[in-house]
Amino acid sequence: GDSVTQMEGPVTLSEEAFLTINCTYTATGYPSLFWYVQYPGEGLQLLLKATKADDKGSNKGFEATYRKETTSFHLEKGSVQVSDSAVYFCALSEPPEGFGNEKLTFGTGTRLTIIP
């Protein structure tokens, strides 16, 4: 079955440091890939996505490139801020067979803490 493996946390960085959170996946087809962020006490928010190989998703300074050859979708940010502290989930969705089938398979999440 489908699975997502992401870097275990927690990860602690100083403000303005470079961030990489690794994510690799296993899928039978050609999935769409996502990064979701979860702030304390809140739901999951879509951070960025990519739907096909070599696509780059980007948002709020975060980037991730869909690498089919390495089955990876690593999250990067050049200069993190304290407000980026949250739990980050990598996820995939297989092409749906009809509507209502675009369920997400999540990785285990990586807790990121940025210290001033």
Partner 1 sequence: AAGVIQSPRHLIKEKRETATLKCYPIPRHDTVYWYQQGPGQDPQFLISFYEKMQSDKGSIPDRFSAQQFSDYHSELNMSSLELGDSALYFCASSLPVPNSPLHFGNGTRLTVT
Interface residue list for partner 1 (CB under 8 A): 32, 34, 36, 41-46, 49, 51, 89, 96, 98-109
Identity of the residue, 8 or 16, whose beta carbon is nearer to partner 1 in the bound complex: 8
Identity of the residue, 11 or 104, whose beta carbon is nearer to partner 1 in the bound complex: 104
Q: How many CA atoms lie within 13 A of 3 on its CB side?
A: 3
Closest separation in Å from C-beta 38 to partner 1:
9
Closest separation in Å from C-beta 107 to partner 1:
6
Closest separation in Å from C-beta 15 to partner 1:
26
Question: Which neighbouring-strand residues pair with 14?
Answer: 115
According to DSSP, the β-strands at 3-6 and 23-26 are antiparallel
Q: What is the DSSP letter of 103?
A: -
Identity of the residue, 19 or 92, whose beta carbon is nearer to partner 1 in the bound complex: 92
The encoded tokens of residue 54 equal: 């070599």
Identity of the residue, 73 or 89, whose beta carbon is nearer to partner 1 in the bound complex: 89
- Left if phi > 0, otherwise alpha if psi is -120 to 50, otherwise beta: which for 50? beta
75-77, strands of its sheet edge to edge: 19-21, 75-77, 62-65, 56-59
